[in-house]
Amino acid sequence: MLALALLERTGDTGLRQAAKQVNRKIAGAVPAPLAATFSGSALHAWGSVAPAPEAADLALIRRAIRCEQKLLLDYRDEFGRLTERMIRPIALIYYSQTANIVAWCELRQAIRNFRTDRVEHCDLADDFFPGEGEALRKTWMDGWRQDAGAA
């Protein structure tokens, strides 16, 4: 129940709808006293609800991650500069106020995080990176471990 409530707080419209459907299915399959807790106020995921990003379709990004398909982004950095990036998306990180795309950036030749609220335009590219997704996720996770060891 808590995980479903947390999904409803993301800016991902597709995940919000899926969480509501799953919640209804579970509530319909459990005994009546327990079903009441699904619609009642016994459990809360407190905090603000992240707004859906205006130009980044998170369902499209999730599909690109699964299919190992490159994305072309028009991206505005923290200083407001607009750049065009070809990326290999490998993960989505959901924070309370925004979602970040973790990707191999072909411009920087490195793993980078792209805040979805800074994406001006996002399209599927005609290019794929088959079989590379898991290796790129390992590189990303290894970077975390190195950073944690240095601290």
67 and 104 part of one domain: yes
Count of structural domains within the chain: 2
pLDDT of residue 82: 97
62 and 115 part of one domain: yes
Task: State the residue range of the domain holding 16.
Answer: 2-39
Instruction: Write out pLDDT tens, residues 122-148.
Output: 999 999 999 999 999 999 999 877 766
| CA distance to 4, 44, 81, 87, per residue, from 21 (Å) | 10, 18, 40, 32
CATH number at residue 144: 2.30.30
Of 21 and 127, which is predicted with more confidence?
127
pLDDT of residue 41: 58
pLDDT of residue 44: 62
pLDDT of residue 151: 55
pLDDT of residue 2: 72
76 and 116 part of one domain: yes
Q: If DSSP codes are grouped into helix, strand and coil, which group holds residue 90?
A: strand
34 and 65 part of one domain: no
Instruction: Write out pLDDT tens, residues 68-120.
Output: 999 999 999 999 999 999 999 999 998 878 899 999 999 999 999 999 999 99
| CA distance to 4, 67, 98, per residue, from 90 (Å) | 23, 10, 17
| Residue 50 in domain | no
113 and 74 part of one domain: yes
Instruction: Write out pLDDT tens, residues 36-48.
Output: 766 655 666 667 7
24 and 67 part of one domain: no
Average the pLDDT over 28-40 and give the result: 73
